[in-house]
Amino acid sequence: MTAQSQEPIAAELSGVHTSRLDRWRHILFRVALTIRDLPDLLRGLTALLVGFARRDRMLELWLGDSNSLGQNRSMTSAKLTVGAEGQVIWHLGPRLMYTVARTGLPPRAVRAARLTRRWVRPERIVLFHSAGEIDCRCHLVPRLHDGTLDLGYVREYVDQVCTFAEEFGAAIVAFLVQSPQSGAIPDVGIFPIQGDLADRVRVSEMLRARLTEEVAARRGKVTALVVDPTDLLSLPDGSMDPSLASDGVHTNAEGIRRVRSRVRELGLADRLRELGVRTSTR
């Protein structure tokens, strides 16, 4: 995705339009995207309904920022869609890990979870959550430099997502480690790149380590896991391998294949059975 193609999206997120013409251009752009990606939305809705109907089958439900989408399938403007292995993806928008730590998941996600648990067996739905890449790209490096960097909010982030999973009724929640920082991503609007690549890689590694530590320490009704494909996606310097990225930050087909291989290593169906949740492989 080029910087030019991201401009209308950035304008939507910032709520700033410079003119009436700009607003109309933005509206037409969004309508065109919606029409183009309507099949993706319909496939996602179908996969979700089929997954809910098959009450004995494990279902992956991915929530979060654009990496919940971009590490499962090609990018689309459809907020609800499906990956090649049947995983359902709900792109909630470009939220910071810090924001989730402070305010939790968006109210629409909470309402949907409360409604869903009345009609399905939520314990066999494995929740995945993705956040953190924008924290590293846009916010943490200046705090590293001035000595105010405090990653204590990562514990609150883990608590918020686990609480959401418990309220939903899930048995397992998996946290996706943010994608490696990229040297090829455009500096766009409300996502201003802060610091050089080495600094961003450094804070990304710090956030990755803290997330892994907090998830390992978490105790509660829901089993918390980490999905960490960093070593599969990065160069020796820790940055994103550009040959595995479609636009600098989101993975291409080969990158997605690698992420999915790391997910399969978790043995989720076996873990559910160990927790007493009956699932079928048919």
For residue 211, being part of any structural domain is answered with yes
Question: Residue 74 CB: number of other CB atoms within 10 A?
Answer: 16
Q: What is the mean pLDDT of each run of 10 residues along the chain (282 residues)?
A: 35 48 73 71 67 77 94 88 91 94 94 83 92 96 96 98 94 97 83 94 98 96 97 97 92 97 96 87 52
pLDDT at 14: 40
Q: How many domains does the chain have?
A: 1
Dist CA 213 CA 180 (whole Å): 18
pLDDT at 114: 86
Please enumerate in sequence order all residues whose Cβ is within 8 A of that of 15, keeping only pairs 6 or more positions apart, or say none. Answer: none
- Identify the domain containing residue 155 by its residue range: 38-274
Cα–Cα nearest to 26, from 14, 34, 17, 35? 17
For residue 252, being part of any structural domain is answered with yes
For residue 236, being part of any structural domain is answered with yes
pLDDT at 44: 64
Q: Helix (H, G, I), strand (E, B), or coil: what is residue 42?
A: helix
pLDDT at 28: 77
pLDDT at 1: 36
From residue 123, alpha-carbon distances to 56, 57, 88, 181, 264 in Å are 10, 11, 16, 34, 19
For residue 5, being part of any structural domain is answered with no
For residue 178, being part of any structural domain is answered with yes
In angstroms, how far is CA 89 from the centroid of its own chain?
Answer: 9
From residue 125, alpha-carbon distances to 118, 122, 197, 272 in Å are 13, 5, 37, 10
Query: In CATH, what number is assigned to the domain containing residue 106?
Result: 3.40.50.1110
For residue 44, being part of any structural domain is answered with yes
pLDDT at 16: 42
Cα–Cα nearest to 195, from 263, 137, 116, 132? 137
pLDDT at 190: 78
For residue 247, being part of any structural domain is answered with yes
For residue 33, being part of any structural domain is answered with no
